[in-house]
Amino acid sequence: MFKKIYTALLCLLFFFPFSNTQTYAAELTPSETSKINKLQQEYAQLDKTAFNFNNLYLTKPYFKTKFKQGVLVPAYLTSQLAYTNYYRELFGLNPVNENSEDNIAAQKTAAVLAALNANPMINQHNLPHDKRPKLISKDTWQLARNTSNQANLNFNTTDQSAGDVITDLLTDRYNLGGADTGHRAWLLSTRLTTTGIGAAYGTNGYRYSVQKVFNPVDVFRSPSQEMVTYPSAGVFPIELLAGENIAWSVYLSSRHFEGIPVITITDKDNGETYQAKNVRNYSKTGYGNFETIITYYPGSMPLIVGHEYEVKITGLSSYSFKLFQLQEKSSSAQ
């Protein structure tokens, strides 16, 4: 039920043009201006430390004669949770808490993946492609299988910050499974309450990141809201749309929708309307404990800082958002 792993080396399939032309611009209300300022200030305060093998660990993992999962520096755990809740706040969702037992399970799972030098180009949920090495106990192996099947997995060779991992999961641009946006759905689950975090380097240079996101008890919780859209209504950072292979999405917590809706996006500042491309219904996957999961691409529509866009999803929703610059206010993202 969980989506496939992804890697930054995956071939990218789509390109969305961006423009720094601002001939027209939507007016911001005082409340929208206040929210933008708040989001910019909070983002600026998030830890941007780039982590690597030398500064990731409080105690390094050991994979030779014995298996030891290692211990992450507290700053990594704190930062990754902060980014998770920053993005959840952007979408109007409740913050989640760190679970110490899940942190241990996630760290053991990340270390198992690192000890295996697990192939980053294939599905590693439930560890379906490797046999248990002798240095890993049966209990640890089974824990890693279970946890990997309940987690967002990120494999990367760059010195990412803890927040970069969460941003990649949110945009879901490196998803081997295509446009299902399953990592995003779990991050933005309206029922999610706790998470666990782990990371470890293999000798192949990959950092194996594990974020536990499925909790059986959450399945029965009442959702905090009925709909989550990406982009969200109101004001939205262009950085989270800038780049390649970023699908847009709409999730419904309780309502089941079958079929493929017609979706249009209108730039309200120039009147141009665009038909969404590659509209897909992934509701059967159950990602994020959502009843309905619809994903699509905006096609060749230019995205411009300061413009307002109206999204119409036939039979589901109609809403508007205004794009702003999260980090640099003077120009739009490239």
Token pair for residue 249? 């999405």
pLDDT digits (tens, 9 = 90+) for 85-113: 999 999 999 999 999 999 999 999 999 99
Phi and psi at residue 318, in whole multiples of 5°?
A: -145, 125
Sign of the alpha-carbon torsion through 64, 68, 74, 78:
positive
Which one, of 104, 97, 60, 58, lies nearest residue 80 by Cα? 97
Distance in angstroms (rounded) separating the CA atoms of residues 112 and 216: 23
Distance in angstroms (rounded) separating the CA atoms of residues 86 and 287: 21
For residues 68-96, one letter each, b for 16 or more C-beta atoms within 10 angstroms of the residue's C-beta and e for the rest, the string is ebbebbeebbebbbbbbbbbbebbebeeb
pLDDT confidence of 26, banded at 50, 70, 90?
confident
More confident residue, 13 or 228: 228
Asked if the model's pLDDT at residue 331 lies above 80, the reply is: no
Query: What number is the average pLDDT over the span 227-233?
Result: 98
pLDDT confidence of 178, banded at 50, 70, 90?
confident
More confident residue, 299 or 146: 146
pLDDT of residue 328: 63
pLDDT digits (tens, 9 = 90+) for 102-154: 999 999 999 999 999 999 999 899 999 999 999 999 999 999 999 999 999 99
5, 127, 146, 163, 205 from 149: Cα distances, Å: 11, 8, 5, 22, 23
pLDDT of residue 25: 73
Query: What number is the average pLDDT over the span 176-181?
Result: 87
* Residue-averaged pLDDT of the chain: 91
